[in-house]
Amino acid sequence: MSGVMEKARKADEGRARAMSGLRERWAALPRSWRYGVIVALIVLLYYLPGLQPPLLYTPGTDFTTVLFLCAVYVLIAVGLNVVVGLAGLLDLGYVGFYAVGAYSVAILGSPDSPVVVKFPWLVCVPIAIAIAMVSGVILGWPTLRLRGDYLAIVTLGFGEIIANIATFSGITNGTRGIGSVPQPSEANWPSWMNWFPGAATGQPIFDVAHVVGYYWLALTVVLICIFGVRRLERSRVGRSWLAIREDEEAAEIMGVPTFKYKLWAFAIGAALGGLSGALFFSKQQFINSTTFDLFTSILWVAAVVIGGAGNQFGVAVGAILLAYLPERFREFADYRLLTFGVVLIVMTIFRPQGLFPSRRRSVELQDRAKEVTVDA
Amino acid sequence: MPDQGLGTPLLEVDHVTLRFGGVVALNDVDFTVRKGEILGLIGPNGAGKTTCFNAITGVVRPTSGAIRFAGSKVVGRKRYKITRLGIARTFQNIRLFPEMTALENVLVGADARHKTSVVGALFRLYRVRVRANELTAVTAGSGMLRSVQSLRRTGQKVFGLSRHTLEERAARERALELMRLVGIEQRTGELARNLSYGEQRRLEIARALATEPDLLCLDEPAAGFNPAEKESLLALIRKIRDTGVTVLLIEHDMRLVMGVTDRIVVLEFGKKIAEGSPAEIRDNPAVIAAYLGVPTDAA
């Protein structure tokens, strides 16, 4: 057994070396080349629904729908990464913010909701983001004075409370749910978009049967959010988050207002969670209380950890795997939790830093592995 | 060295007592740090030196007594606000941010003086008022943007440049300068955890200096150093003092303390037992007794 592990670990070390080499090579490329590659990748992402690539293609489910799901999950992972990966706060109730965003849009925009007002989508979404953000601040204000395990327990409770409110409160209609969640727009595809499959003239852009419009919307939102978070990451804000993650007390003594930045991390995470909920249920058109359980929260944290907490590319890959694999291998979808559990165990043994670790963490864990071998 | 205000009280520790349950960690400790000096705080193990530092930097709150820094109250203030007041410190057991690079560690210190908000860092609004000492950072840019910036500079307002970018550039320059000062400029991109022990101690000093303090508190900066390293550290401490920073130094090594300090305060069992110039302290019987123990027949 130990021989097998040894071999696997060696193979993984080799891969890690190859990857860090790749990273250096990427950093060494001229700026224009890097931008070129990124633009090409983005174009490819937008074009994916038209390609229907043979190996990736999902049997039994519309491929574009799966892509949309992936995009929403990436948005969730990017938001959760700010809280878990950058600021180092373990949040097990993230589904709560997702639910708050989703229900805000449904309640404010749907004619079926008990609330009489009916706002258009474009008004609902900013309000939903704001409400999610405020709920993040309300949750964070008293609880961010707690540390580690305690924070995890409180956030876990928050997720459950939101789920219970969704089930039992009159305004959310419980398990019967709310239908006719507003769509982003009622407009039809213009004729000049005819060339793209799924974008036929006269068809509505946001249509449950042809979700290209939804996918493009979600992808655009995701790209903007990734860009925004990246900007924060590379400023004093990101530095403060990392310092808090590393040593909160030392950070505060070095002049970092730790509580303020933790609260910001929480608020930004909550806003992104709310936005992803709003996006997903605008496509779904129907919302009820059954989808917001604890397992969802835990799966999302698992996706962030498996992808590589702290690295946006890594967590995006983790989220895509979480969304895509059950759709691709439908026959195993029921074993999703089991599979994730096994993968997590295997990962903690062979690759605790995640698939695509942030630069810092990979170095840390490599060193730790070296220390272990020296001790043995 | 600017002579203005030299010798006026900078930090006043005013009859501070601190109890942890039944243990009296500090008992009516009273001393003053004067502007521009290097004050040594010495005493045997467990005398309360680090506790005293913790009280000054807001880590623990004294049971009674007051601490004033340049006239403002320190006790009860939040820790990061004490730092912004102008007190910086290092730790006896090194507490860097291990997974951040050496440069980033120093930048975190520099952030204590930065004004970019979260929203500002996100949107980077392109117009900024520049202080005179930041002007070099404006011209540090390159290419087309720089010429646009210098073209459209009217007085102190610079267009096409955000507060974030300006502060980031200025901080980077300053951080490199500090790392040169403490002698680890060749290690900027290395993770803090990968630095050698001595480099980590020096990095802590650079990080503390980046917060632009008036008072630098060093908690056993020479612990674990060999004589040669201690010698260069002494030189560094003097150099730091000569840039106008007052230094409060905890140190075990008597020779080192005698060699660098202007005045010395001695603690034993949480009480101040002596205060004076190095020569006075050396001959003080109470200090000798505290360090060497008192023969039983004498007691």
Q: For residue A255, give the nearest of B84, B91, B98 by CB distance.
A: B84
Strands in B246-250's sheet, in edge-to-edge order, are B87-89, B215-219, B246-250, B38-42, B263-268, B271-276
**Residue B253 touches chain A, beta carbons under 8 Å:** no
Once rounded to an integer, what is the mean pLDDT over residues A344-363? Answer: 73
Closest B-chain CA to A228? B122
Q: What is the pLDDT of residue A306?
A: 87
Closest B-chain CA to A239? B108
Rounded to whole angstroms, the Cα distance separating A162 from B2 reads 62
Contact B242, B231 (CB under 8 A): no
Q: State whether B208 and A254 contact (CB < 8 Å).
A: yes
DSSP state string for B129-179: E--GGGHHHHHT--HHHHHHHHHT-BTTEEES--HHHHHHHHHHHHHHHHH
Q: What is the pLDDT of residue A27?
A: 79
**pLDDT higher than 80, residue A375:** no
Once rounded to an integer, what is the mean pLDDT over residues B251-280? Answer: 89
Q: Are residues B275 and B224 located together in one domain of the fold?
A: yes
- Residue B207 within any structural domain of the chain: no
- Greater pLDDT, B250 or A373: B250
Element (H, E) at A217: helix A212-233
Under the banding of pLDDT at 50, 70 and 90, the label for residue A115 is confident
Q: What is the pLDDT of residue A29?
A: 83
Q: What is the pLDDT of residue B27?
A: 92
Tens digits of residue pLDDT in B129-187: 666 666 666 665 555 555 555 555 555 666 667 788 888 888 998 999 999 999 999 99
Closest B-chain CA to A247? B97
Rounded to whole angstroms, the Cα distance separating B110 from B172 reads 9
**pLDDT higher than 80, residue A317:** yes
Pairing of strands B215-219, B157-159: unpaired
Q: What is the pLDDT of residue A246?
A: 92
Q: What is the pLDDT of residue A205?
A: 87
**Residue B145 touches chain A, beta carbons under 8 Å:** no
Q: Which CATH class is domain A9-17+60-187+210-375?
A: mainly alpha
Q: State whether A242 and B84 contact (CB < 8 Å).
A: no
Look at residues B165, B197, B229 and tell me which one is the last residue of a structural domain.
B197
**pLDDT higher than 80, residue A251:** yes
Once rounded to an integer, what is the mean pLDDT over residues B221-227? Answer: 89
Once rounded to an integer, what is the mean pLDDT over residues A240-267? Answer: 95
- Residue B32 within any structural domain of the chain: yes
Q: What is the pLDDT of residue A55?
A: 76
Question: How many separate helices (H) and strands (E) can be counted in chain A?
Answer: 14, 0
**Residue B112 touches chain A, beta carbons under 8 Å:** yes
- Residue B112 within any structural domain of the chain: yes
**Residue B205 touches chain A, beta carbons under 8 Å:** no
User: Cβ neighbours of residue A319 under 8 Å, at least 6 residues apart?
Assistant: A70, A73, A74, A76, A77, A300, A303, A304, A307
**Residue B96 touches chain A, beta carbons under 8 Å:** yes
**pLDDT higher than 70, residue A86:** yes
Q: What is the pLDDT of residue B17?
A: 94
Under the banding of pLDDT at 50, 70 and 90, the label for residue B88 is very high
Residue burial A107-141, b: 16+ Cβ < 10 Å; e: rest: bbbbeebeeeeebebeebbebbbebbbebbeebbe
Once rounded to an integer, what is the mean pLDDT over residues A247-262? Answer: 94
Residue with tokens 């039983």: B296
Q: What is the pLDDT of residue B253?
A: 80
Closest B-chain CA to A268? B118
Q: Are residues B73 and B32 located together in one domain of the fold?
A: yes
Tens digits of residue pLDDT in B178-216: 999 999 999 988 899 999 999 999 999 999 999 999 999
Look at residues B197, B223, B240 and tell me which one is the last residue of a structural domain.
B197
Q: What is the pLDDT of residue A126?
A: 96
**pLDDT higher than 50, residue A363:** no
Q: What is the pLDDT of residue B142?
A: 54
pLDDT averaged over every residue in chain A: 86
Q: Are residues B299 and B264 located together in one domain of the fold?
A: yes
Contact B171, B107 (CB under 8 A): yes
Q: Lowest mean pLDDT: which of B42-46, B108-112, B128-132? A: B128-132
- Residue B202 within any structural domain of the chain: no
Q: What is the pLDDT of residue A253?
A: 95
Q: Are residues B192 and B234 located together in one domain of the fold?
A: no
Under the banding of pLDDT at 50, 70 and 90, the label for residue A374 is very low
Query: Which pair of structure tokens corresponds to residue A370?
Result: 């070296």
Q: What is the pLDDT of residue B170?
A: 86
Tally the domains of chain B.
Answer: 2
- Residue B18 within any structural domain of the chain: yes
Q: For residue B79, give the nearest of A239, A242, A253 by CB distance.
A: A253
In chain B, what residues touch A255 (CB-CB under 8 Å)?
Answer: 80, 83-84, 109, 111-113, 211
Residues 115-134 of B with CB under 8 A from A: 116, 118, 121-122, 124
Q: State whether A236 and B89 contact (CB < 8 Å).
A: no
**Residue B99 touches chain A, beta carbons under 8 Å:** yes
Give the residue among A239, A246, A240, A287 at the shortest CA–CA distance from A261.
Answer: A240
In this prediction the pTM is 0.88
Look at residues B197, B225, B247 and tell me which one is the last residue of a structural domain.
B197
Q: What is the ipTM of this complex?
A: 0.89
For residue A356, give the 3-state DSSP assignment.
coil
Under the banding of pLDDT at 50, 70 and 90, the label for residue A315 is very high
Give residue B148's domain range.
Answer: 101-197
**pLDDT higher than 60, residue B272:** yes
Q: State whether A235 and B59 contact (CB < 8 Å).
A: no
- Greater pLDDT, A113 or A268: A268
Query: Which pair of structure tokens corresponds to residue B247?
Result: 């230094």
Query: Which pair of structure tokens corresponds to residue A13?
Result: 């070390």
- Residue B276 within any structural domain of the chain: yes
Rounded to whole angstroms, the Cα distance separating B10 from B246 reads 8
Residues 249-278 of A with CB under 8 A from B: 249-258, 264
Of chain A, the percentage scoring pLDDT greater than 70 comes to: 90
Q: For residue A360, give the nearest of B89, B100, B107 by CB distance.
A: B100
Rounded to whole angstroms, the Cα distance separating A343 from A1 reads 18
Give the residue among B115, B223, B218 at the shortest CA–CA distance from B162.
Answer: B115
- Distance from chain centroid for Cα A149: 22
Q: How many residues does chain B have?
A: 299
Q: State whether B80 and A255 contact (CB < 8 Å).
A: yes
Q: Are residues B80 and B120 located together in one domain of the fold?
A: no
- Distance from chain centroid for Cα A371: 34
- Residue B155 within any structural domain of the chain: yes
**Residue A224 touches chain B, beta carbons under 8 Å:** no
Give the residue among B109, B93, B14, B84 at the shortest CA–CA distance from B55.
Answer: B14
Of chain A, the percentage scoring pLDDT greater than 90 comes to: 48
Once rounded to an integer, what is the mean pLDDT over residues B38-43? Answer: 92
Q: For residue B100, give the nearest of A228, A236, A246 by CB distance.
A: A246
- Greater pLDDT, A374 or A323: A323
- Residue B94 within any structural domain of the chain: no
Q: What is the pLDDT of residue B132?
A: 62
Under the banding of pLDDT at 50, 70 and 90, the label for residue B2 is very low
**pLDDT higher than 50, residue B84:** yes
Q: For residue A256, give the nearest of B80, B96, B104 by CB distance.
A: B80
Q: State whether A239 and B111 contact (CB < 8 Å).
A: yes
Structure letter (DSSP) for residue A188 = B
Q: What is the pLDDT of residue A188?
A: 86
Q: What is the pLDDT of residue B1?
A: 41
**Residue B193 touches chain A, beta carbons under 8 Å:** yes
Residues 49-88 of B with CB under 8 A from A: 57-59, 78-80, 83-84, 88
